[in-house]
Structure 1
Amino acid sequence: MLLNILDFVHASIQQVVRAGDTVVDATAGNGHDTLFLATCVGELGKVMAFDIQEAALQATSKRLVNAGMRERVELIKAGHEHLDGYIEGEVSAIMFNLGYLPGADKSCTTTASTTLKAMQAGLDHLAINGVLAAVLYPGHEQGKIEADAVQAWAVGLPQQQIAVLKYAFINRVHNAPYALLLQKHA
């Protein structure tokens, strides 16, 4: 059975995250991925969730409170390009769900320049066998620019240190979303 893009990303992250780990949600959005990550790290783990929009952080906080997991998450009102200044040590997973906040202003999107800076910093903090996952949305103008830039960067990563997987459905119309998963080996 083929999994949809987000389910595949979640299943892949579940393979590497253990209770007590520290992980990063680079794009908190409405909190769905933050909650998923909070479930993965357990009571002793920590999720660092970034977003620049107050509405996103409020929605995420509400979702976490309703699930009884708010204490596992540090909500950070900053762009993901600043994650290097917040992360101490290694993390086992970093998740990017790029584009714009569903149900909000579609002109406020992630951008190639900030995302690439965040991903490079994220790789520097990623533990051996850790996973950096990015869901890309090339169906809108800024999303296409960002997806092309991220994919070009990922293709150039040294295969001896980083494995890069592209998970995509190739028979979908309208530039369907896809995922890139990077796993650190050395």
Structure 2
Amino acid sequence: MGFLSVLSQAQRWVKERAQPGDAVVDATAGNGSDTLFLARTVGAGGTVYAFDIQAEALGKTHERLVAASGEQGNLAPVRLIHGGHEAMESVLDQQLHGRIAAIMFNLGYLPGASTDVITKPTTTVAALDSALRLLRSGGALTVVVYPGHDGGQEEASAVEAWASDVPSSLAQAILYRFPQKAASPYLIALNKK
């Protein structure tokens, strides 16, 4: 048996830290996979906030949630937010600041859509700063980066540098990567102290 994929590992670490009833964030809704995972993880008593700058991504996320409607009594309510993840701190109610159990980022571009619309280092790093402030003690922050597309390596390097600069007194950071495939996606995660 091999190791977990970076996406599965990110979900595993979040599932270990987020509980039913928690508030969580999908910083990059995309096709809705992480949004649905988070809605299942925190259950009907929790809340999921899902951000994306593309209406198409929010539509795909909504479709995924509707397809899971048979689970509706077990899923958290999801608030789809048409906006950049760098604004999450100003969008989320002040009472949630320092109380978010998990925030997931899956960077790059929307699969099946234009590769001209990608996440950018400047807005991503700003979002990561906000995410760290929003997380509660023991909360998880996961970031899947994609160095293999145009602009991806630059963003991956910026995220890695950001994580390296987070003081160890504030959070523990880890890198989960398959070194034989330099261009393959990898995971950077933090556990807030």
Is the TM value for this pair above 0.5? yes
Amino acid at match of 1:36: F
Cα shift readout 1:96-119 (whole Å, capped 9, x = no counterpart): 000000000001000000000011
Deviation of the 1:86 alpha carbon: 1.7
Residue number among 100, 103, 125 corresponding to 2:109 in the alignment = 100
Pairwise CA RMSD: 1.1
**Hey, what's the Cα distance between the residues in 1 that align with 2:103 and 2:136?**
10
User: 1:63–1:151: structure 2 CA closer, same or farther, 3 Å change rule?
Assistant: same
Normalising by structure 1, report the TM-score: 0.96
**Hey, what's the Cα distance between the residues in 2 that align with 1:154 and 1:66?**
36
Q: Is the 8 A contact 2:48 2:76 kept in 1?
A: no
- Which residue in 1 is equivalent to 2:88? 83
- Which residue in 1 is equivalent to 2:139? 130
Q: What is the aligned-residue identity percentage?
A: 44
Normalising by structure 2, report the TM-score: 0.93
**Corresponding position: 1:50 with 2:58:** no
Name the count of aligned residue pairs: 184
- Which residue in 1 is equivalent to 2:121? 112
Residue number among 169, 176, 182 corresponding to 2:190 in the alignment = 182
Cα shift readout 1:112-132 (whole Å, capped 9, x = no counterpart): 000000110010010000000
Q: Is the 8 A contact 2:6 2:187 kept in 1?
A: yes
Query: Which residues of structure 1 form unaligned runs of 5+?
Result: none
**Hey, what's the Cα distance between the residues in 2 that align with 1:142 and 1:83?**
23
**Corresponding position: 1:163 with 2:164:** no
Query: Which residues of structure 2 form unaligned runs of 5+?
Result: none
* 4+ runs deviating over 6 angstroms: none
**Hey, what's the Cα distance between the residues in 1 that align with 2:169 and 2:112?**
41
**Hey, what's the Cα distance between the residues in 2 that align with 1:112 and 1:179?**
16
